[in-house]
């Protein structure tokens, strides 16, 4: 009896101890889960902020340092009615500054009407501007404009990157040469050939970069190009880290949140672009008539930024949908059950997946194989994601076939 009493007492002493240890372990697990949750959200938020900054950096690189993108944007500018009208006014002003239009008209007018040359010269400004607008809408003018922009930009980029034998520290400046358009306009106005020949070489020049700002511009270009790849790697690593840090049972939730965060980053870029265009119009349009041209230039100049924003939205939504379909909810299980017969057939599954990838890359803006790094990362993640999803679905529903009755839906433990 005494031994039994001692045993009962010992058990009574041990039970609270065991209970306490279990309780402490449970509390530790909860604390660990909470800490992981905070870390996941911290990584997602920081990555999203860096992604927005990275978007602006990529925009600068593609829009300002890529000659093909520059020429495409310049062609869009010339095709815009508001911008073309502003260029027309600029070119007419250049003609009137380069030559004495009044004297030229005086030579063409009969002696009795030569005194009207000054009046006609002033009166011709309006019709001349309209004529230049029509001239700029011709293929000849577009070719001149395109060639001038391509030459000027390729020279500017070579100097900014300090490439080749170009003198990058001279006293000159990189200019957009529109002198040919000025001379063609003077000819269209009927000015004498001797006046047209006297038009200076710098007529119609638009300075793109001056030598005084060259060193600072070269440093900025090096920073932009260096940061472009680095920021992309950091963002991808932080998003992947956020998913891996999460509890195993909550990784799909973390992946879904990453997807929505990427989409929100894209929306943020769109909102910031809209705000930037508004600021540009407010500060650069000194007169009301200049508001439309400035707005058009700002919208076209930030077209790449808009493409990047919509790309982020599309990729973010795609990731979120993938995470939702990979979850353990009844709707996700039902969807995977419906897809199981297709995913069991490896060849057919990958044919559909690659067709979907091609369609996705074809319709969403901003994707460019010339930037092979981001393209390779996206395609690699897509391939891995599809294969993981396919194998999981086949493992969950091994007996699923087309036309077979639906079995019970049981999630993976």
Report the 3 state secondary structure along the chain. CHHHHHHHHHHHHHHHHHHHHHHHHHHHHHHHHHHHHHHHHHHHHHHHHHHHHHHHHHHHHHHHHCHHHHHHHHHHHHHCHHHHHHHHHHHHHHHHHHCCHHHHHHHHCCHHHHHHHHHHHHHCHHHHHHHHHHHHCCHHHHHHHHHHHHHHHHHHHHHHCCCCCCCCCCCCEEEEECHHHHHHHHHHCCCCHHHHHCCCCCCCEEEEEEHHHHHHHHHHHHHHHHHHHHHHHHHHHHHHHHHHHCCHHHHHHHHHHHHHHHHHHHHHHHHHHHHHHHHHHHHHCCCHHHHHHHHHHHHHHCHHHHHHHHHHHHHHHHHHHHHHHCCCCHHHHHHHHHHHHHHHCHHHHHHHHHHHHHHHHHHCCCCCCCCHHHHHHHHHHHHHHHHHHHHHHHHHCCCCCCCCCCCCCCCCC
Most confident of 134-138, 184-188, 250-254, 289-293: 250-254
Q: How far apart are CA 116 and CA 262, in angstroms?
A: 67
- Alpha-carbon distance values, 232 to 47, 201, 261 (Å): 10, 45, 15
Quickly tell me which residue has 């067709």 as its tokens: 355
pTM of the model: 0.74
Q: Is the pLDDT of residue 263 over 90?
A: yes
Please return the burial class of 212, using the count of CB atoms within 10 Å of its CB with bins 0-12, 13-18 and 19+: exposed
> Which of these, 15, 85, 62, lies nearest to 221 by C-alpha position?
62
Q: How far apart are CA 99 and CA 204, in angstroms?
A: 12
Structure tokens at 258: 């990453």
Q: Is the pLDDT of residue 264 over 90?
A: yes
pLDDT for res 166: 45
pLDDT band (50, 70, 90) for residue 323: very high
> Which of these, 127, 49, 52, lies nearest to 95 by C-alpha position?
127
pLDDT band (50, 70, 90) for residue 171: very low
| pLDDT, tens only, 22-38 | 444 444 444 466 677 78
| pLDDT, tens only, 375-403 | 787 888 889 999 999 999 999 888 877 65
Q: What percent of the chain has pLDDT over 70?
A: 68
Q: How far apart are CA 70 and CA 383, in angstroms?
A: 33
pLDDT for res 42: 93
Structure tokens at 362: 């074809």
Please return the burial class of 279, using the count of CB atoms within 10 Å of its CB with bins 0-12, 13-18 and 19+: exposed
> Which of these, 239, 267, 273, lies nearest to 46 by C-alpha position?
239
Most confident of 164-178, 204-218, 276-290: 276-290
Q: Is the pLDDT of residue 130 over 90?
A: no
Question: Which position has the higher pLDDT, 11 or 344?
Answer: 344
pLDDT for res 113: 41
Q: How far apart are CA 334 and CA 325, in angstroms?
A: 9
Q: Within a 10 A sphere around the Cβ of 129, how many other Cβ atoms?
A: 17
Do 309 and 269 touch, CB atoms closer than 8 A? yes
Q: Is the pLDDT of residue 274 over 50?
A: yes
Q: What percent of the chain has pLDDT over 90?
A: 19
The mean predicted confidence, pLDDT, of the chain is 77
Q: Is the pLDDT of residue 114 over 50?
A: no
Q: Is the pLDDT of residue 175 over 50?
A: yes
Do 69 and 62 touch, CB atoms closer than 8 A? yes
Most confident of 173-177, 280-284, 285-289: 280-284
Do 137 and 101 touch, CB atoms closer than 8 A? no
Q: How far apart are CA 15 and CA 6, in angstroms?
A: 14
pLDDT band (50, 70, 90) for residue 135: confident
| pLDDT, tens only, 144-166 | 888 888 888 888 888 777 765 54
Question: Which position has the higher pLDDT, 400 or 84?
Answer: 84
Q: Is the pLDDT of residue 254 over 90?
A: yes
């Amino acid at each position: 009896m005494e031994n039994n009493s001692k045993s009962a007492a010992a058990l009574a002493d041990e039970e609270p101890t065991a209970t306490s240890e279990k309780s402490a372990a449970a509390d530790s697990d909860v604390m660990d889960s909470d800490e992981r949750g905070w870390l996941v959200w911290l990584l997602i938020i920081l990555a999203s902020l860096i992604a927005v900054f990275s978007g602006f950096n990529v925009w600068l690189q593609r829009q300002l340092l890529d000659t093909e993108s520059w020429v495409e944007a310049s062609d869009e500018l010339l095709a815009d009615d508001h911008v073309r009208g502003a260029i027309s006014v600029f070119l007419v002003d250049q003609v009137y500054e380069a030559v004495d239009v009044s004297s030229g008209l005086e030579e063409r007018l009969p002696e009795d009407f030569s005194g009207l040359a000054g009046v006609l010269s002033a009166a011709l400004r309006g019709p001349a501007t309209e004529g230049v607008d029509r001239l700029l809408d011709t293929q000849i003018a577009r070719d001149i404009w395109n060639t001038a922009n391509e030459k000027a930009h390729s020279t500017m980029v070579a100097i900014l990157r300090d490439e080749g034998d170009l003198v990058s520290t001279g006293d000159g400046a990189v200019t957009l040469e529109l002198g040919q358009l000025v001379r063609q306009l003077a000819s269209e106005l009927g000015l004498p050939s001797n006046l047209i020949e006297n038009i200076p070489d710098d007529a119609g020049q638009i300075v793109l970069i001056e030598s005084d700002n060259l060193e600072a511009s070269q440093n900025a270009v090096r920073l932009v190009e260096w940061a472009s790849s680095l920021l992309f790697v950091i963002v991808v690593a932080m998003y992947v880290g956020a998913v891996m840090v999460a509890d195993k049972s909550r990784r799909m939730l973390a992946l879904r949140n990453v997807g929505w965060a990427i989409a929100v980053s894209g929306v943020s870029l769109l909102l910031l672009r809209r705000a930037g265009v508004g600021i540009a119009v407010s500060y650069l349009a000194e007169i009301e008539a200049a508001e439309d041209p400035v707005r058009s230039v700002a919208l076209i100049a930030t077209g790449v930024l808009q493409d990047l924003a919509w790309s982020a939205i599309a990729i973010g939504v795609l990731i979120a949908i993938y995470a939702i379909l990979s979850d353990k909810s009844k709707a996700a299980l039902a969807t995977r059950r419906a897809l199981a017969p297709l995913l069991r057939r490896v060849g057919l599954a990958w044919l559909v997946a690659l067709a979907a990838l091609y369609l996705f890359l074809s319709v969403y803006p901003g994707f460019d194989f010339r930037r092979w790094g981001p393209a390779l990362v996206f395609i690699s993640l897509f391939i891995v994601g599809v294969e993981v999803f396919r194998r999981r679905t086949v493992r969950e529903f091994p007996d699923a076939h087309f036309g077979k009755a639906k079995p019970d839906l049981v999630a993976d433990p």
